[in-house]
Amino acid sequence: MRVRNKPWAIELIPEHPELIVEHGQDLKGKWQTRFARKQPIFIEVGMGKGQFVINMAKKYPDYNFIGIEIQKTVVGIALKNALEFTLPNLQLLYADGADLTDYFDDGEISKVFLNFSDPWPKTRHEKRRLTFKSFLKVYKQILIDNGIIEFKTDNQGLFEYSLVSLNNYGMEFDNVWLDLHKSDENVENVETEYEHRFSVKGQPIYKLKAHFI
């Protein structure tokens, strides 16, 4: 996602330290202190404008959620959207999702959401894909034992690549959906901005759920 610079969005960030964290290395191992209650923490890597992570926090108050985004303007937009609600189980982190071990301690996270990540289709860019083995190693480190990854995309090539990558890493699949919106899983599905845009056009949405063993 690329958006034009919006000064108001960037200026909004320092006004709400209760909801947004810039960088966050000092909170490594201490993220529970940012929430009203101590409960399992789920993170979304690349939250975009926040539609998914905000609605997940609304729907599941018994879990804590952290949305992570590297683009400052986009973070500001997500912050504006989050401020429309009172969500004591939500935090936003302005940081690079490629450096998760800088922000989270071993076993601090219970689930990782990867939604509509950049497919990086060229072979020479394989290492940038968020389901490449080096990223999987990081997720396993910050996740609890048997920690879960949920991955959604509209990109068939990236989905097929991810199935192979996770399988080769030794992960166990809980389920795989080749057309999410035509499955029973869609009953409880929370959409992202991109997902809604693609699904209304009739494009299939692919999803997998897997855990480390």
> Where is the binding site for S-adenosyl-L-methionine, in residues?
44, 69, 96, 118
Binding residues: 44, 69, 96, 118, 122, 154, 192-195
Binding residue numbers for substrate: 122, 154, 192-195
Among the listed residues 99, 102, 118, 174, the single catalytic one is: 118
Residue 164: both structure tokens together: 């192979």
Q: Which two tokens stand for residue 35?
A: 């929430």
The neighbour count for residue 70, using CB atoms within 10 Å, is 15
Task: Please indicate whether residue 105 is annotated as part of the active site.
Answer: no
**What letters, b where the CB count within 10 A reaches 16 and e where it falls short, cover 25-55?**
eebeeebeebbeeeeebbbbbbbbbbbbbbb
Q: Would you say 7 and 76 are in contact if contact means Cβ atoms under 8 Å apart?
A: no
Residue with structure tokens 């509209």?
154
Residues with catalytic roles: 118
